[in-house]
């Protein structure tokens, strides 16, 4: 009985050791290949006070087309409750390639044209790219 128990413990240790390296390999390969990762874009914008409504309206029109794109996972805009002229836009894409396709769409080009002069010139807009490795999350 003692030999069977010892053999079983050794067998389980061997099996548990087999799983750990494959997880490391998957994580390492994901880190090396951003092209396969989800992409989350966080953009901050501030518009002139008289342009808030027009900015929101233009974004909502663009959002309709964007959510129909096969590579779009999520697309939303959030308005600051302390400063109604500040917005955060959060986009999630299947990968960077899908985001690049989005950048060429007609609905985005129209939106960019509509909001071109709406920005507050004293505010420094930001664009942050976050890559999400599926094997880790």
Q: How close are the terminal C-alpha atoms of the chain, in Å?
A: 42
Q: Is 78 exposed, middle or buried (0-12, 13-18, 19+ CB in 10 A)?
A: exposed
Q: Are residues 2 and 69 in the same domain?
A: no
For 44-103, the pLDDT digits (tens) are 999 999 999 999 999 999 999 999 999 999 999 999 999 999 999 999 999 999 999 999
Query: Residue 18 pLDDT > 80, yes or no?
Result: no
pLDDT bracket for residue 134 (50, 70, 90): confident
Q: Are residues 23 and 39 in the same domain?
A: no
Q: Is the pTM of this model over 0.85?
A: no
DSSP output for 50-96? GGHHHHHHHHHHHHHHHTTSTTEEEEEEEE-SS-TTEEEEEEEESSH
pLDDT bracket for residue 6 (50, 70, 90): low
Domain containing 88 — which CATH number? 3.30.70.100
Domain span holding position 89: 35-132
Torsion of CA 130, 134, 136, 137, to 10 degrees: 80
For 107-120, the pLDDT digits (tens) are 999 999 999 999 99
pLDDT bracket for residue 33 (50, 70, 90): confident
Q: Are residues 9 and 58 in the same domain?
A: no
Q: How many domains does the chain have?
A: 2
- Among residues 60, 131, 134, 73, which one has the least CA distance to residue 102? 73
Residue 50 is classified by DSSP as: G
Q: Are residues 14 and 49 in the same domain?
A: no
Q: Are residues 3 and 45 in the same domain?
A: no
């Amino acid at each position: 009985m003692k030999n069977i128990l010892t053999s079983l413990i050794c067998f389980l240790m061997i099996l548990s050791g087999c799983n750990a390296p494959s997880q490391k390999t998957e994580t390492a390969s994901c880190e090396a290949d951003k092209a396969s990762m989800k992409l989350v874009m966080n953009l901050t914008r501030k518009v002139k006070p008289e342009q808030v409504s027009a900015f929101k309206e233009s974004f909502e029109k663009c959002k309709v087309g964007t959510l129909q794109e096969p590579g779009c996972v999520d697309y939303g805009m959030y308005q600051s409750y302390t400063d109604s002229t500040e917005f955060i836009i959060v986009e999630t894409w299947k990968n960077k390639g899908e985001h690049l396709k989005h950048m060429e769409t007609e609905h985005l080009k129209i939106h960019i044209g509509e909001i071109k002069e709406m920005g507050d010139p004293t505010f420094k807009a930001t664009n942050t790219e976050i890559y999400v490795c599926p094997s880790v999350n």
